[in-house]
Amino acid sequence: MVAVPVNTSGPTFTWGPAQTLFDIQASTTVPDRNYDVSLDGTRFLFVKDDTSTPAPDIVVVLDWLEELKAKIPVN
């Protein structure tokens, strides 16, 4: 996250050098907008990935109805 001083008082828009405020690892789960700024502009809120636990596995079952029919006989 960087801050850049700007000057809009003259006839042209001018800006100064960027200054790094802090380093933050961007969230991979919320790629578009992973932060917000408080209304008074003094604080940031970031979405942070939880690296303490592994991501759960996803199990995809194809033709599950046929598998169910094979396991539960119809009388």
Closest Cα to residue 7, out of 16, 21, 17? 16
Contact 37, 25 (CB under 8 A): no
- The domain in which residue 40 lies consists of 1-75
Residue with tokens 């969230």: 27
Residues near 37 by beta carbon (within 8 Å), at least 6 away in sequence = 43, 44, 45
The single-letter code of the amino acid at 52 is: S
pTM above 0.85, yes or no: no
The total number of structural domains that make up the chain: 1
- Altogether, the residues listed in the chain come to a count of 75
Residue 3 three-state SS: strand
As a whole number of angstroms, the distance between CA 50 and CA 57 comes to 15
pLDDT in tens, the chain (75 residues): 889 999 999 899 999 999 998 888 767 776 677 888 999 989 988 887 777 878 788 999 898 888 888 888 776
